[in-house]
Amino acid sequence: MAPNIPTLLRAVLFLAMAGLPACQHPKTATAPQALPPAPGQTVQAPLFEWKGAELSGPLAVNIDLGEQKAQLMRGGQPAGWTYVATGTSSHPTPTGSFRVTEKVQDKHSTSWGKIVDASGDTVNHNAKNGRDSIPNGGRFVGAPMPYWMRVNGAIGMHAGPIPNPGSPASHGCIRLPREMAEILFGVAQVGTPVQITY
Give the pLDDT confidence of 15-73 residue by residue, as tens digits: 334 443 333 333 222 233 445 555 665 557 899 999 999 999 999 999 999 999 999 99
Per-residue model confidence (pLDDT) at position 41: 59
* Element containing residue 3 per DSSP (H, E): none
Q: What is the distance between the alpha carbons of residues 13 and 113, in angstroms, rounded to a whole number?
A: 60
* Domains within the chain, CATH numbers bracketed: 46-197 (2.40.440.10)
pTM: 0.74
Q: What is the distance between the alpha carbons of residues 172 and 196, in angstroms, rounded to a whole number?
A: 12
Termini Cα distance of the chain: 73
- DSSP code per residue over 38-60: PTTPPPPPPSEEE-GGG--S-EE
CB-based contact 99:194 (threshold 8 Å) = yes
